[in-house]
């Protein structure tokens, strides 16, 4: 069943760090911190509109929810909790930093109906974390993740690919370390270099170079497979579409359909596995009708890819097919 979020953006008012990739004005779209009355109006409207309340969470996004001033944090939680108790919404989802989790904080979150906690791990390599001014260690991620799970919260972990001083091997290591922590969900954010950030200055001086876009698609498709095989749901792959990000983007891996590009690459790999070693030149694959565009690729790029190798690929849709079938024509 589809999961719904009522998104509430809380700017990083309490974050003590300025990470290499962070431009909070761009990410927030210049949003001000919501007041209690504003939050109550938003949730009242959502409560009236949404029928499937038991699959809906109130989601406080912004990156450092537990780092904001505690009286303000509690006022937001109290207001949100009014719409959870007595058969209201399912619960509250927050995102925060690994170094702002403690038993005291988790007790507060438990008291006010928080159900899911996402940690911005970004990398599990201390050298990468230090180079990007994260202000926490990989061990902080491990300890906080274990504590969160011990309290019965759903754990989500977020990683960034392509950061300064990282590479494919380090990003794969990060994914393996995240999988070992057994979160319920994960997010993959390929880096976007925004104007007026440390990354943009490093890029402009030539100290920071990025792997080709296609290589990042290849890497993230591999990560999606790894998380899927581990039973971990990837709830986001790629930065959400935003005009503010587009306007401030210097370079990086921004694309409004980034995840679909990665999923198309996964189909290409599946096709290659079937075709590899065969002398046949004509293949027909049937896929679920909901996945036809992904299997073909944007602008039929998967079909073109094999055509350039002398192989004719026909991809058709078949209702209720969970995987894909192949015919050698």
What are the chain's domains? Answer: 4-256 (3.20.20.70), 277-328 (no CATH)
Confidence at 178, pLDDT banded by 50, 70, 90: very high
- Give pLDDT, residue 321: 54
Query: What 3-state DSSP class applies to 179?
Result: helix
Lowest mean pLDDT among 13-17, 36-40, 200-204, 276-280: 13-17
- Give pLDDT, residue 28: 45
Confidence at 30, pLDDT banded by 50, 70, 90: very low
- Give pLDDT, residue 324: 56
Element (H, E) at 121: strand 114-122
C-alpha 172: how far from chain center: 15
pLDDT digits (tens, 9 = 90+) for 286-308: 998 889 999 999 999 999 999 99
Supply 175's token pair.
């994914």
- Give pLDDT, residue 26: 46
- Give pLDDT, residue 273: 92
pLDDT digits (tens, 9 = 90+) for 224-244: 999 999 999 999 999 887 778
- Give pLDDT, residue 182: 98
Residue 14 scores a pLDDT above 90: no
Lowest mean pLDDT among 74-83, 88-97, 172-181, 318-327: 318-327
Cα–Cα distance between 206 and 143 in angstroms, integer? 36
Averaged pLDDT, 62-89? 93
Supply 5's token pair.
């979020």
- Give pLDDT, residue 327: 54
The fraction of the chain above a pLDDT of 70, given in percent, is 93
Tell me whether strands 325-328 and 282-288 are parallel, antiparallel or unpaired.
antiparallel
Residue whose C-alpha is closest to residue 262's, from 161, 182, 178, 185: 161
Averaged pLDDT, 164-188? 98
CB burial string 35-44: b at 16+ within 10 A, e below: eeeebeebbe
- Give pLDDT, residue 194: 94
Question: Cβ distance 292 to 322 under 8 Å?
Answer: no
Cα–Cα distance between 64 and 82 in angstroms, integer? 22
- Give pLDDT, residue 36: 96
Cα–Cα distance between 33 and 252 in angstroms, integer? 28
Residue 253 scores a pLDDT above 80: yes
pLDDT digits (tens, 9 = 90+) for 104-134: 999 999 999 999 999 999 999 999 999 999 9
Cα–Cα distance between 185 and 195 in angstroms, integer? 30
Backbone φ and ψ of 241, nearest 5°: -65, 130
The fraction of the chain above a pLDDT of 90, given in percent, is 81
């Amino acid at each position: 069943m589809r999961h719904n979020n009522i998104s509430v953006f809380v700017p990083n008012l309490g974050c003590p760090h300025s990470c290499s990739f962070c431009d909070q004005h761009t990410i927030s779209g210049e949003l001000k911190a919501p007041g209690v009355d504003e939050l109550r109006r938003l949730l009242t409207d959502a409560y009236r509109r949404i029928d499937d309340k038991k699959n809906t969470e109130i989601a406080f996004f912004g990156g450092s929810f537990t780092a904001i001033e505690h009286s303000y944090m509690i006022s937001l939680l109290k207001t949100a909790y009014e719409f959870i108790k007595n058969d209201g919404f399912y619960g509250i989802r927050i995102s925060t930093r690994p170094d702002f989790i403690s038993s005291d904080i988790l007790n507060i979150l438990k008291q006010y109906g928080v159900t899911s906690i996402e940690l911005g791990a970004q990398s599990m390599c201390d050298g990468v974390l230090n180079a990007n001014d994260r202000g926490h260690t990989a061990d902080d991620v491990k300890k906080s993740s274990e504590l969160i799970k011990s309290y019965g919260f759903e754990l989500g972990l977020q990683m960034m690919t392509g950061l300064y001083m990282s590479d494919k091997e380090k990003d794969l290591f990060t994914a393996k370390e995240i999988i070992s922590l057994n979160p319920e969900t994960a997010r993959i954010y390929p880096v976007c270099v925004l104007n007026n950030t440390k990354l943009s200055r490093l890029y402009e001086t030539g100290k920071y170079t990025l792997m080709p876009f296609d290589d990042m698609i290849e890497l993230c498709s591999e990560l999606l497979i790894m998380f899927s095989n581990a039973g971990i749901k990837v709830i986001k792959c790629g930065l959400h579409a935003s005009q503010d990000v587009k306007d401030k983007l210097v370079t990086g891996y921004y694309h409004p359909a980034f995840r679909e590009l990665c999923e198309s690459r996964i189909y290409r790999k599946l096709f290659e596995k079937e075709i590899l070693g065969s002398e046949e030149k004509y293949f027909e694959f049937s896929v679920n009708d909901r996945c036809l565009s992904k299997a073909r690729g944007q602008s039929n790029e998967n079909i073109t890819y094999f055509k350039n190798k002398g192989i004719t690929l026909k991809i058709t849709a078949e209702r209720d097919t969970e995987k894909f079938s192949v015919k050698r024509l």
